[in-house]
Amino acid sequence: MSQTQQQIREFVAGVQAYVSPVNVINPWRDYVTGYDIGPEAVNIRSEHLVRYL
């Protein structure tokens, strides 16, 4: 893994670690019943963000 790829993964991990205020969701951390396809949606979005960056 290159240094850039490692930095991107660290950035996404930081985004995932952010705890949102009440009534706000963090789409890279929070699974929302009724909106997401399943608990795996969080991981799918996170991996898409890594690929995009």
Q: Which two tokens stand for residue 31?
A: 């699974």
Annotated domain spans of the chain: 3-52
- pLDDT at 5 (0 to 100): 95
In terms of pTM, does the model score above 0.85? no
C-beta of residue 49 within 8 angstroms of C-beta of residue 10: no
Q: What is the pLDDT of residues 6-32, one digit of tens each?
A: 999 999 999 999 999 999 999 999 999
Nearest-angstrom CA–CA distance, 51 and 53: 6
- pLDDT at 1 (0 to 100): 83
- pLDDT at 50 (0 to 100): 96
